[in-house]
Amino acid sequence: MRKNPLTKGILIINIFMFAMSAVFSGGSFLKSLWSGGDLQTLLKSGASFGAYVQQGQVYRLVSSLFLHAGLIPLIFNSYALYMFGTIVESIFGSRRFIVVYLASGFVGALLTQLFYPGVVSVGASGAIFGLIGQLFSLGLRKDTPRRLTPVTGTALLPMIIINLLLGFTVPGINNMAHIGGFATGFVFGLFLAPFRIAARYWSILWTALSVLCVVVSLVCISYVFLFPEPDIEQIINFANQYAEVLTLLSGTQNLRSDSYYLELLRPFDGATRALKEDVQRYIETGGHSDTLYNLQLRFKAWQAVVLKKYGTWIKKAPCRFVCSSRVFSSPASAGFSRAKRPS
């Protein structure tokens, strides 16, 4: 039987997720490989973000643990995971290792949402700090073998202090994930004895918990690929195209002859397909099925939902997009208008 299979498995998943985010970033592959993709790509790949989590996308609290925002963070976290993961998995076994790892990462992600809801969060450092916290508290137990002294307890204190100080002084480091993960692992380490064979009912419990953790992680990662978030550019293009179509409809006399303008619309989900169907029905019935004003109102409602969910990223798009705040006095005011990025 291979040693430390779950540590190696997590490393493989982390590298795979990083490569996927680089491939689908849409920019230069080498640049994306270095940076891990832009914020929009990270969000599409499962990064944690307060507004999305609050809307029910809780899977991001797990999927974000397997993402990294650059090659350097991936290398450092991979090294730390291999170093501490192999130790913890060897001491406590694969079942308890995976439960502590994912529980620590999850708690760290939750703390991030509480203290930094407006920050996009990715990385395995919270989960890794859970392993460090477990080893630290393990050194405080009286039944810990002496041969583990170099990798447990106060032997880890200098590294812990340095990393926490860096988290408070260096921008871009999520210290809440570190603190939450460390505290979770610390508690586990106080109650889990090293190398001890648990009673049968405890063994069954840890097996069930470990299987549950693996299944939940795979489901969360799979969800990212099965139900991807739309591109910001895609959303903006549809809004501008729809506004253009409404403008054309407001100035035409023969609606049936203008049905080809529907080809301008590129819907990408159920809501945008419904908007296109409204326009198609309006054209096919010569405007008798509905009023243009009602089409504008439904478009405005869709726009409000989009801005609530994606407003931050619309403004941070490569070409800045600004939404008109006026009431829909004319169809043209319904879309997103392009504006050059300030120099």
Active site residues: 125, 178
Q: Can you tell me which residue has the tokens 């489901």?
A: 219
- Joined together, the tokens standing for residue 186 give 């610390």
Task: Give CA–CA dist 330/11, Å, rounded.
Answer: 54
Residues 6+ apart with CB under 8 A from 240: 335, 336, 337, 338
CA distances, 216 to each of 50, 99, 106, 138 (Å): 20, 11, 12, 27
| Structure tokens, 79 | 């090294």
Residue 267 CA, distance from chain mean position: 24
- Of the CA atoms within 13 Å of residue 104, those in its CB half-sphere come to 30
In three-state secondary structure terms, 337 is: strand
Q: Which helix (H) or strand (E) holds 4?
A: none
182-207 in b/e burial notation, b at 16+ Cβ within 10 A? bbbbbbbbeebebeeeeeeeeeeebe
- CA dihedral defined by 152, 154, 158, 162, rounded to 10 degrees? 80
Please list, in sequence order, all residues whose beta carbon lies within 8 angstroms of the beta carbon of residue 247, skipping any fewer than 6 positions away.
330, 331, 332
Closest CA to 111 of 42, 171, 154, 64: 64
Quick one: the chain helix, strand, coil %, rounded to 5? 70, 0, 25
DSSP 8-state symbol, 140: T
CA distance 108 to 129: 9
Residue 91 contacts residue 195 (beta carbons within 8 Å): yes
